[in-house]
Structure 1
Amino acid sequence: MTDAQPDARIDTPVSPRTDTQVSDAVTEVLMRILSVSEEDVTPESRLADDLDADSLDLSEITAALAARGFVVDKADVKARASTVADLIALVDSPSEPA
């Protein structure tokens, strides 16, 4: 029998996040995954054309945001997010547990 530690992310209550927190998280994830500077990530920046994001990058971005506790639909991101602003709009903060 092992002394497995519970996953803190599961036990931590999640509260709604502000637009600034969502925007900051998206910017940080884009900078890390796409190796771009903060100045490159503006609401108008086009994910593919300006930031060179491909479909694999979008999958990684979605997973990284989900790991931070955001609700992100990978299919929506791939189909509807052409700019950073689009991506931010598709990221939902989790609702309070019922």
Structure 2
Amino acid sequence: MDDRDDAARTVRQFHEETPHAVSVSVTLSTHTREVLSAVRDDLNDRAGEPILDTNDVVRLALEGAARYHDRAPDDGSDVHALTAAVRDAVDDG
């Protein structure tokens, strides 16, 4: 199995296992939309097909922030406090 197969399997699994029941309308800056689109396009390219949408990328970013908090040292930084809030929300969700 090559990297493309691994990427496709992981992307499909994330998309299928992540709840899609609630859709929220969010106003984003142009820069944020461009970054999210670039991440989405890169992941879909790695998977070899368009599987993820922008909502998936936002959920992935939140999951990443929650996991970052678990691994990052508690140095009192604002980032650590913010990721704690994300981790708590993801854990409660």
Same fold (TM over 0.5): no
TM-score of the aligned structures, taking structure 1 as reference length: 0.27
Higher RCO, 1 vs 2 (CA within 8 Å, ≥6 residues apart)? 1
TM-score of the aligned structures, taking structure 2 as reference length: 0.28
